[in-house]
Amino acid sequence: MEELKVKAPAKINLGLHVVSKRDDGYHNIETIFYPIKLYDILTFKKTSSFRFSSDSKELSKSSDNLIIKAKDLLEEETKLKLKVHIHLEKNIPIGGGLGGGSSDATITLISLNKFFSLKTSKERLKELAFHLGSDAPFFLNPKTSYASSRGEKLERKKLIINYPLLIINPGIHISTKWAYSIITPKTPTFNLKDLEQKNLNAPHNLSDILRNDFEEIVFKKYPAIKKLKEELNNSSALFVLMSGSGSTMFAVFENKTLAEKVMNKFKSKYFSFLQNS
């Protein structure tokens, strides 16, 4: 095998609760990871020495990104030099709460393991992924899951959004480290483990049970993100919520025509992606 091309999916959070601060400095959370059909594309080619490139200027200039860290972890694990050119076609907004970095890193682990026949076990890949990000293990098998602890304890959930889903990113990079550093944990009023398909079949009622604990602090520092949510709510969306620690919003609509109309309103100034049911 001389070349391998792989998709790395994004995710949204159907609710996100920061439950408690841990002794190790991290936080216990609960959330529902929901994969969406928005993908980065990673291409792996064998070369005489390692090289990373990307169509993202921000990432191509950096020697400190999660894809390179994933490659380095595998080299440490296997004691081999992985002579490969990794090219990233970046479609998922950076720092938007869609898990793009974690997804790219995890897909890199999986792909390099396959590309070089390293035979690293799935359990070990999960451990390595966890070193790269609390949500990274989800992308080893990105199916809708209830996540707890730091986000690495996963339980599969059979849930599907049967409505058009509009993703809007206003181009504001939110530091996850900053968000966790100032948030005040609290006890959830609704256990996300109890989310059922009947809830998703009535999206106009989701605002009664689903919340993202990061919205309050993010909206306070970045009023433009709060305004975006208000505009989406005023555009006949059935449900609107921020994903991750922001700044991406996702909105559920009654039908494709309405969702496209709203997307056309925003796409000239913001990243927009529409996933039909």
Residue 38 belongs to domain with CATH number: 3.30.230.10
Same domain, 82 and 188: no
Chain-centroid distance, C-alpha 161: 17
Segments of 71-181 assigned E as strands: 84-89, 145-148, 153-156, 165-169
Q: Does residue 135 carry a catalytic annotation?
A: yes
DSSP 8-state secondary structure symbol assigned to residue 212: B
Which member of 40, 104, 135, 213 is catalytic? 135
121 shares its domain with 8: yes
Please tell me which residue in 11, 90, 157, 229 is annotated as part of the active site: 11
Instruction: Clarify whether residues 103 and 197 are in a common domain.
Output: no
pLDDT band at 62 (very low <50, low <70, confident <90, very high): confident
pLDDT digits (tens, 9 = 90+) for 235-262: 999 999 999 999 999 999 999 999 999 9
Q: Do 169 and 148 fall into the same domain?
A: no
171 and 132 within one domain: no
11 noted as active-site residue: yes
- One domain, residues 132 and 244: no
Handedness of CA 271, 275, 276, 277 (dihedral sign): negative
Q: Do 199 and 145 reside in the same domain of the chain? A: no
- Give the Cβ contact number of residue 230 at 10 Å: 12
184 and 132 inside one domain:
no
Could you tell me the pTM of the whole model?
A: 0.96
Same domain, yes or no: 131 and 182: no
> Which residues span the domain enclosing 85?
3-156
199 and 222 in one domain? Answer: yes
